[in-house]
Amino acid sequence: MMSSITAAARTLTDDSPQLLLRGYGFGDRIWRRVRAGARSAPMGLLGDPTIFVRGAEGVEVFYDEDRVRRHGAMPGIVQETLFGHGSVHSLDGQDHRHRKATFLDVAYEDEQVERLRPFLAAEWQRELDDWFAGGERSAYDAAVGAFGRAVMRWAGLPGTPAAKTRWAARLAQIVDGFGVPYSPEYVLAWINRRWSDRHAQHLIEAVRDGDLQPKPGTALHAWAWHRDRAGVLLSARLAGIELQNSMRPMIAVARFVAFAAKELHDRPEWRERIAAEAADRKTLDGGPLAVAFAQEVRRTAPFVPMLPARAVADIELDGQRVAAGGRVVLDILGTNVDDSSWERADSFAPERFIGVDDYEALPAFVPHGGADVATGHRCPGEKLAIAGLATAITALSHPDVTILGSGLDVDMRRLPTKPASGGRVRAAGTGSGCPFHRR
C-alpha cells in the first residue's frame, strides 16, 4: 500500500534536531521506520513532509530535474556558510548548466587534472621532508597545507606558500564548522567565510583592473571573466565565491586523508603494496593501487551525510509518496554502503575498484554527488579530489613513515567528522628528492 508522506508527516515529529544529536547515525534511525532494504522512508524536515531515499533508485529520483529541484532546498546555515550566497549549488535548469560549464572547463577536463598533479606531488614531498626533519603535523593538517598550496597554484593565485597555507586553513575551518551551528566553531566558520569572500573578491577585482594577469584556463582567470546567460559579468563578490568553490572541495579532501591514515594504519599489507607501487613508478603521483584505496576511502568514510531537494511533482518510490512542495533527501552515506548495491558493503575492500575507470557509471557511488557531471549536481572537482587523495595515500605509505594508532577514534555524532587526532605521523630519516628513490 502506498504511504502518503503528506499524511504521515503529521504523525511524525520533525527530525531536524535528531540530525544534530545523532550525526551520522541519523539515517539508521530513519530506516528503522520501514522494512529492511527499503529504498524510501518517511520523515519530517524543517516542518515539511519529506521522503528519505537511498541506493541507485534513490539517486535516480533525486537527480531527476523534472521531479526535483535544488534551489531553496539547502538550509541557509549550510548554503550561506559552506557554499556562499548565490553559488552554483543553489541553481537549477539552464542557469545551473551555464554556470556549471565553467566549473567543467576549469576543474573537470583531463588536462586540468594533469596540470594539478605535479603541484600535488611537490607539496606532498614538502610535507614528507618536514616529517623527516622532525615535524609533527598530523596527516590532516599536512593535507590542508599541501592541498591548499597545490590547488591555489593550480588556480592561478598569487602569494607566498605561507599565505596560501593560512588561507587553506581558513577554508578548511569553514568545512569543519558549518555543520555544528550550536558551537563556537560555527561562529568561527562565519568569520572565516566573510574574510575569504572579501579576499576572493579583491582577487577578482585585481584581475579586472589589470593588476593581476592569471593565465587563461586557470580558475582565477575563468571566474574573473565569467558572464551569465545574459552576457553580464558576475559581481566580483559572486565570482570570488565561485573561485572558492573551485578550490575548497580540494582542501576538504583533507578529511578523507585523515580517514585514509586510519585505514592504512589498520592495513599494513596495503601500505606495503602502495609503497612498492610508488617505488616502481618513482613518483608520489598515485598509481592504480593508491587510486583504488582512495576510492574505497571515499565510499566508506563518513563525510557528507545527505543532500536535500524540493519535489516539484508528486513522487512515489518503493511504497512511499511525497507531494509536490515536499522535500526529498538523498542518504549519501547510506547509498555508498548500501547492502543492495555493493557486495560486502560493510567491508573495506579497495580491490573492488581496481580496474574500474568509469566510477561515474556506478549509480550507488555518490561521495561527490551523483548523476551526470555536466547536467546534474555531481561535483566537477571529483577527479581532482581523487588525484589528491591518491597522492596523499602514496606519501603516507612511505616505509619510513609510521602512522600512530592513538587518536584514530571517530565521533559519529559530529558533522562533519574525522579521526580525532587527524592521523598522527612519526617519520625517520631525511627527505631528499623523491623519497621512494632511496629504497
pLDDT per residue over 340-394, tens digit each? Answer: 999 999 999 999 999 999 999 999 999 999 988 887 778 899 999 999 999 999 9
Cis peptide before 416 (omega within 30 of 0): yes
Residue pLDDT, tens place only, 159-212: 999 999 999 999 999 999 877 777 899 899 999 999 999 999 999 999 999 999
Beta pairing partners, 53: 40, 330
Query: At 409, is the pLDDT very low, low, confident or very high (cuts 50, 70, 90)?
Result: very high
pLDDT higher at 439 or 258 = 258
Q: How far is CA 262 from CA 58, 115, 124, 398, in A?
A: 30, 29, 18, 15
Beta pairing partners, 227: 233
Residue 390 CA to residue 278 CA, distance in Å, equals 11
Give how far the C-alpha of residue 365 lies from the chain's centroid of Cα atoms, to the nearest Å.
13
Tell me phi and psi for residue 14, to 5 degrees.
Answer: -65, 130
pTM greater than 0.85:
yes
Residue pLDDT, tens place only, 111-159: 999 999 999 999 999 999 999 999 999 999 999 999 999 999 999 999 9
Query: At 14, is the pLDDT very low, low, confident or very high (cuts 50, 70, 90)?
Result: confident
pLDDT recorded at residue 292: 98
Residue 189 CA to residue 195 CA, distance in Å, equals 10
Residue pLDDT, tens place only, 82-100: 665 666 666 667 888 899 8
Sequence length of the chain is 439
Is the CA virtual torsion 22, 81, 253, 110 positive or negative? Answer: positive
First to last CA, the chain: 65
Q: Which residues contact 176 (CB under 8 A, 6 or more apart)?
A: 185, 189, 416
pLDDT at 80 over 70: no
pLDDT recorded at residue 110: 95
pLDDT at 9 over 50: no
Residue 352: which of 273, 292, 419 has the closest Cα?
A: 292
Q: Using CB atoms within 10 A of its CB, is residue 407 exposed (0-12), middle (13-18) or buried (19+)?
A: middle
At which residue does the C-alpha cell 539552464 appear? Answer: 94
SS3 219: helix
Residue 196 CA to residue 171 CA, distance in Å, equals 8
Percent residues over pLDDT 90 in the chain:
78
Residue 44 CA to residue 308 CA, distance in Å, equals 12
pLDDT higher at 403 or 90 = 403
SS3 215: coil
Query: At 62, is the pLDDT very low, low, confident or very high (cuts 50, 70, 90)?
Result: very high
Contact 2, 321 (CB under 8 A): yes
Q: Which residues contact 222 (CB under 8 A, 6 or more apart)?
A: 102, 105, 106
| Ordered domains of the chain (ranges, CATH) | 72-84+92-305+345-438 (1.10.630.10)
Residue 5 CA to residue 26 CA, distance in Å, equals 18
pLDDT recorded at residue 17: 83
Q: How far is CA 363 from CA 38, 140, 232, 355, in A?
A: 17, 29, 37, 17
Query: At 1, is the pLDDT very low, low, confident or very high (cuts 50, 70, 90)?
Result: very low
